[in-house]
Amino acid sequence: MDLTRTEVAVRKDRRGSAARFGLIALPVAFFAAFFAYPVAAIVARGLKVDGAWRLGRIGEVLAQSDVRHVLWFTTWQALVSTALTLLIALPGAYVFARFDFRGKQVLRAAVTVPFVLPTVVVGTAFLALVGRGGLLDELWGVRLDTTVWAILLAHVFFNYAVVVRTVGGLWAQLDPRQEEAARMLGASPWRAWRQVTLPALGPAVAAAALMVFLFTFTSFGVVQILGGPTFSTLEVEIYRQTSEIFDLSTAAVLTLIQFVAVGAILALHAWTVRRRETALRLVDASVTARRPRGAGQWALLGGVLLTIVVLLLLPLAVLVQRSLDAPGFGYYRALTRADGGVFLVPPIEAIGNSLEYAVAATVIAVVIGGLAAVALTRRDAGRFVRGFDALLMLPLGVSAVTVGFGFLIALDEPPLDLRSSWILVPLAQALVGVPFVVRTMLPVLRAVDVRLREAASVLGASPWRVWREVDLPMVRRALLIAAGFAFAVSLGEFGATVFIARPDSPTLPVAVARLLGRPGELNYGQAMALSTILMVVCAVALLVLERLRTADRTGEF
């Protein structure tokens, strides 16, 4: 019996709805169980007394002078860190976008290494440079480890690549003839750049600035190591209230404050990204890089290279040098011995633990993020699916400390009694990896011609076969890049893992933090050695990403 066109359309719409629901169901369930539920559980534990909400506690906490000081310092240092990062990194963005020079690709990869490094390693590297017994202390007797400058410079070190990648990617696609036309009409170089190039770069600069502000506003590892007892951000204060003072009420209020702030930042970021994507469709995407011309451009290139060496490479070099201070690789050999104290196993076992956890977290992040990315690119995606896109970014800004402690509180009874399970650590790490997977795969999936999918469907291919034979060959490289990013960020996750990693199975960041928290030259040297190992693993992962990213000039970070 032949079907009418209406019946065919209805059946097709039902199949599309079922496919859309199937794609988004697992990511929604994952975030509900392992993000929303733990965060809600710890907030409720802090703001509920005998089953009744104590919302007045919010005003009580905000009235405390030390809490107001933490809020002020968190905001102030994030604003200053963002301004410094833009000031120092924008020349680098221009150089990588418009100049062609020998070793550019290798240097571009080296610039990105700090961003994928765990914050614990970043803090340790600067501790080796500006702390007690560091390079500056030995040469000139200068110590910055208890000053705000150490925190600010470490934030610039960490976020330099965000500006270079985000702004430089768009800058490389702007047609330079527009600025040249303004110059021919009599505009000075500064005026031509200010009135022609800068407005076009505005959305990318704003997006980069908001991302840097988000990362510095929620800074934990850097401030924990370099700030000492003097400086504390919201994230550090949440950790202190949770693990040292055991004041869940204050920690819950601070979590809510950070949640609201991060939500506002992400909303602004989504708006600027939409503006940026609109601009990218209007620009010339041809390659514009050329050899520097004239003394001024060579001086600019030299200045950027000097900045990269001093600000980005020197801390890492000092970190490696400090790990080799003991003769005969003494600090590295000490990692193979258990001390029976903080570590129940030799610290060297943290390497295997971290790799195992990171692989498991990568698989989870790729599956969850891949399904979410496919659902978001469907033409029939509903309003709920599009709204879920913004929620995917929340784990990057919501307190990882809150998530980790929430795991301990919420996942302690059937059917989610996971406190003694090894999978708890990869689940927490995957929460941070999923946003990177989604952001890496979305631009490529959106670039796939929808008519190819429709043609395959008309020829009788099932949705799974359409994905396997049409989409997968085109997004295979992006999928590998996404997996690499998820692996790198999982390897370095610290804020949540510090709560849930078992004493007999520490990860590398947790082991580094424990060693730094103990007095003695041997512990300090072992921390430097473990940090160097972690840095090398992350750098290798990044170099593999760069090989996969060849000829990628989409401007996406």
Q: Tell me what pLDDT residue 360 has.
A: 94
Q: pTM for the complete prediction?
A: 0.77
The pairing of beta strand 48-49 with beta strand 52-53:
antiparallel
Contact in structure between 530 and 335 (CB atoms under 8 Å): yes
333-385 per-position pLDDT tens digit? 888 887 655 666 788 888 888 889 999 999 999 999 888 888 877 655 555 55
| Six token digits for residue 154 | 């470490």
- pLDDT of 384 reads 56
* Residue among 280, 430, 449 at smallest CA distance from 370: 430
Residue 415, preceding peptide bond in cis (omega within 30° of 0): yes
pLDDT at position 184 over 50 = yes
Range with the poorest average pLDDT among 63-67, 233-237, 272-276: 272-276
Q: What is the pLDDT of residue 51?
A: 66
How does residue 551 score in pLDDT terms, banded at 50, 70 and 90? very low
User: pLDDT tier at 543 (50, 70, 90 boundaries)?
Assistant: confident
- Model confidence pLDDT, tens digit, residues 517-542: 787 888 888 888 888 888 888 777 77
Residues 41-92 have pLDDT tens digits of 878 877 776 667 777 777 888 888 888 899 999 999 999 999 999 999 999 9
Residues 365 and 359: their CA atoms lie apart, in Å, by: 10
Reduce the DSSP state of residue 53 to 3 states and report it.
strand
Which range, of 5-14, 189-198, 463-472, averages the lowest pLDDT?
5-14
pLDDT score, position 453:
66
Highest mean pLDDT range out of 257-261, 289-293, 328-332, 488-492? 328-332
**Does the pLDDT of residue 227 top 60, yes or no?**
yes
| CA–CA gap between residue 203 and residue 276 (Å, rounded) | 5
Q: For a pLDDT cut of 70, what percent of the chain falls above it? A: 80
Q: What pLDDT, on the 0 to 100 scale, is given for residue 105?
A: 74
- Is residue 282 a contact partner of residue 550, using CB atoms and an 8 Å limit? no
Residue 277, CA distances (Å) to 32, 273, 347, 446, 555 in order: 30, 6, 46, 12, 10
Q: Are 205 and 168 in contact (CB under 8 A)?
A: no
| pLDDT per residue as tens digits for the range 495-516 | 788 878 887 888 888 888 888 7
Cα 480 to Cα 257: distance, rounded to the nearest angstrom:
36
Q: Is the confidence at residue 401, as pLDDT, over 90?
A: no
Report which listed range, 61-65, 187-191, 396-400, 453-457, is most confident: 61-65
Whether the pLDDT of residue 15 is over 60: the answer is: no
What would the DSSP string read from start to end of 361-378? HHHHHHHHHHHHHHHHH-
| Per-residue confidence (pLDDT) for residue 553, from 0 to 100 | 45
Sign of the C-alpha dihedral computed for residues 352, 354, 359 and 361 taken in this order: positive
Q: Which residues pair with 48 in a beta bridge?
A: 53
The continuous run of DSSP H or E covering 48 comes out as strand 48-49
Residue-level pLDDT at 341: 56
DSSP state of 226: H
Which burial class, exposed, middle or buried, applies to 163 when counting CB atoms under 10 A from its CB (0-12, 13-18, 19+)? Answer: buried
Q: Cα–Cα–Cα angle for 301, 305, 309, nearest 5°?
A: 170
How far, in Å, CA of 378 to CA of 467, rounded?
A: 12
Mean pLDDT of the chain: 77
The answer to whether 433 and 489 are in contact (CB under 8 A) is yes
Tokens of 10: 């209805």
Q: How far is CA 445 from the centre of its chain?
A: 21
- Taking residues 386-414, report their average pLDDT: 76
Q: For 177, which DSSP code?
A: H
Residue 177 has pLDDT above 80, yes or no: no
Distance CA 417, CA 430 (A): 18
pLDDT at position 385, please? 57
Q: Which residues pair with 290 in a beta bridge?
A: 99
